[in-house]
Amino acid sequence: MTIAILGMGLLGAGMASHLAARGDDVVVWNRNRDKALQVRGVRVADTPAAAVAGASRVHLVLTDDDAVDAVLAALRPGLATDAIVIDHTTTSPVTTAARARRLRDDGVSFVHAPVFMSPANAHAGRGLMLAAGPKHLIDAVTPALSTMTGEVWNVGERDDLAAFYKLCGNTMILTMAGAIADICAMADAMGLPRSEGLAVFQRFSPLGILQFRGPKMAARDFTPSFALTTARKDLRLMEGVVGDVDTAVLAGLAARMDALIAEGHGDLDVGVLAR
């Protein structure tokens, strides 16, 4: 079986090297050919169409929706009628659904399969891969995809759902990174090592926010256990610590809290942020 992988960024290169190390026949393409040439054990194609010629599986690991559409158009002349296109790119749910419908109407088998994995995990074949699309296609490729990631989560036939879940996960990653940045800023202002700002999490696990407050927020249950006005007071203390330093999360959160308090929601739980 020949496998084509288009896009040799850190993630795509990791996937290609992992599959090649397993003994698969891997053909790769990248807009910058030099990057493709650095991946061991693969064949490098000059064009997307040449890369997919004869491939049973075609993997896209690209930057955004525009890149996906451009590469799909470029590879179509070489795509076998029985090939399955698997797109790992993080893309818009709306455009992903439209793309899936368009490809299906054109007779192209397509699965959207974004991943939660680092480049190192891509090299090692570890991580979580989501898969959205027709059940028979996902069933057909799941054994192979499992060798690339360890776990494949079939989210169902709604074409935009894997894209949505991927953005949910990335929202948490980004906001947590912003929160850590603000904790580092407070530690700096206190004249403490930044590691001291993170030391509390050796004892206090924020996972409870997801497990307990999260479902209440999703259900719009704002019965107070941590009133918004009290939370805003605490955030004001945080602002006092960082002073004039620009914050990644706290400033936007303060503005949202102030607006909700002005609307009369101050006595509700801080979960009213999801009102």
Average pLDDT over residues 174-182: 97
246-256: per-residue pLDDT in tens?
A: 999 999 999 99
259-270: per-residue pLDDT in tens?
A: 999 999 999 999
- Long-range CB contacts (within 8 A, 24+) of 62-71: 62/6, 62/7, 62/9, 62/12, 62/87, 62/89, 63/7, 63/9, 63/89, 64/89, 64/90, 64/91, 65/89, 65/91, 65/92, 65/95, 65/96, 65/99, 67/7, 68/99, 69/99, 71/6, 71/7
102-134: per-residue pLDDT in tens?
A: 999 999 999 999 999 999 999 999 999 999 999
> 2-157: which CATH number, 3.30.470.20, 1.10.3720.10, 3.40.50.720, 3.30.465.10?
3.40.50.720
91: confidence class by pLDDT, cuts 50, 70, 90: very high
In the prediction, which pLDDT does 1 show? Answer: 84
Mean pLDDT of the chain: 97
Structure tokens at 248: 């990644």
The CATH T-level fold of domain 165-274 is N-(1-d-carboxylethyl)-l-norvaline Dehydrogenase; domain 2 (1.10.1040)
Average pLDDT over residues 54-63: 97
User: How many angstroms separate the CA atoms of 165 and 117, rounded?
Assistant: 14
Give the residue extent of every domain in the chain: 2-157, 165-274
Percent of the chain with pLDDT over 70: 100
Tell me whether residue 43 is exposed, middle or buried, using C-beta atoms within 10 angstroms of its C-beta: 0 to 12, 13 to 18, 19 or more. middle
Residue 148 confidence (pLDDT) above 90: yes
User: How many angstroms separate the CA atoms of 32 and 36, rounded?
Assistant: 7
